[in-house]
Each structure stands twice: as C-alpha cells, then as structure tokens.
C-alpha cells in the first residue's frame, strides 16, 4: 500500500530527504502545539509535498483548539485507530501527546515509503495489541537513531520541541 504523496516521486527519496520530510512535519506540528491546537488526524495522507520536497501538514477536519492540552471526545467519535495511542484507543482522550504518537507513526510511514501501519492487523487487534505494548518495527530505511526518535514519540513524556531537536541533531550527523 502506497500513499499518494509517494506516487509523484520519480525515484525513491534519499534518507536525507526522508529526514527533511519528517523535520518539516515536526516544525508544523510544533507551531500548531504552540497555538494550542490538537490535530487529531496526523498521518502521511494528511500532508502535502510541494515540488521542492517541502512537506505541509493539512486536513484540520478533526483538529480542536484546547486550553488545557487535553480533549476528550464525545461517545461515538471516529478517530484514526492505526495512528492512535492507548489513551485514545481506550478512553478517547486526545492531547498534544496523542499528536506526538501519531507523528511517530507518520515517521514510520515516511521511512517505510508509505506502508500502512500495522498492515496485518484489523482495528480490534490494533486496540488490543497497542494497549498491551505492541509498537511498530524499525523500517529498513530508518537507522537506529531515527528509529529511537520514532519510539520516543510512543512514550508518555514526549514533546514536539524535543522531537524536533532530535531530528535537527540527525541532520548534522
């Protein structure tokens, strides 16, 4: 399964280009977080890539302005299961932390060249397995440093400014 943003590329992007894509999204999400917005549907399908390879975060249909960095959806709300952390899967509790989790999944999408996260699991299995600690494997194109940034997004203490700082460190290696 490939996402549309990969279709326009004439050749596979380099690992430097993949890192730059992730950095662009992190910068956009850092900005949204600074304005107290929770995106709630961050995924590769909701990003646009221009002719220069610059990535912009789009699709704010599920976004919310929040004052206390936490939003609990009303019963029956739909959300993107494959990009959601346990607190969203189990309690429908959204925060900037859930956006950071989704960002880690987006990084995984980028480095797997558009594969579907948890592609062999259905939504029920994803809820079960992620709640028990299952995390996405390291994509072949992601080195250990990049994968450690991904996995740091799946911890409770992550913040976009820390993720962005780690990505900037990767660009100087």
Distances (CA, A) of 79 to 2, 39, 72, 83: 21, 11, 12, 9
What are the structural domains of the chain? 4-171 (1.10.510.10)
50 is catalytic: no
> Mean pLDDT for the chain?
83
Predicted pLDDT of residue 9: 55
What is the DSSP code (8-state) at residue 136? P
pLDDT > 70 fraction of the chain, expressed in percent and rounded? 77
C-beta of residue 16 within 8 angstroms of C-beta of residue 150: no
CA 77 to chain centre: 20
Judged by DSSP in three states, 38 sits in strand
Q: 111 pLDDT exceeds 80? A: yes
Q: 96 pLDDT exceeds 90? A: no
Predicted pLDDT of residue 40: 87
Predicted pLDDT of residue 149: 94
Q: 4 pLDDT exceeds 60? A: no
C-beta of residue 19 within 8 angstroms of C-beta of residue 61: no
Better pLDDT: 170 or 99 = 99
Place of tokens 């990049």: 146
Query: pLDDT band at 70, cuts 50/70/90?
Result: very low
Predicted pLDDT of residue 95: 86
Q: 76 pLDDT exceeds 50? A: yes
How far apart are alpha carbons 36 and 139 in whole angstroms?
Answer: 31
**29 Cβ neighbours under 8 A, 6+ residues apart:** 39, 42, 57, 99, 100, 103, 160
Q: 63 pLDDT exceeds 80? A: no
Give the dihedral sign, CA 103/109/114/115: negative
Set 41, 50, 69, 99: catalytic member? 41
């Amino acid at each position: 399964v490939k996402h549309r943003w990969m279709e326009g590329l004439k050749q596979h992007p380099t690992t430097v280009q993949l890192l730059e894509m992730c950095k662009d999204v992190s910068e956009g999400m850092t900005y949204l977080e600074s304005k107290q917005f929770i995106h709630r549907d961050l995924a590769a399908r909701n990003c646009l890539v221009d002719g220069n390879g610059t990535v912009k975060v789009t699709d704010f249909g599920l976004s919310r302005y929040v004052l206390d960095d936490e939003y609990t959806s009303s019963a029956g709300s739909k959300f993107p299961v494959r990009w959601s952390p346990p607190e969203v899967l189990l309690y429908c509790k959204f925060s900037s932390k859930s956006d950071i989790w989704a960002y880690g999944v987006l990084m995984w999408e980028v480095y797997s060249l558009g594969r579907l996260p948890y592609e062999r699991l259905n939504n029920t299995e994803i809820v079960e397995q992620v709640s028990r600690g299952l995390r996405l494997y390291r994509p072949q194109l992601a080195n250990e440093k990049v994968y450690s940034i991904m996995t740091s997004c799946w911890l409770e203490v992550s913040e976009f400014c820390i993720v962005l700082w780690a990505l900037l460190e990767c660009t100087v290696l």
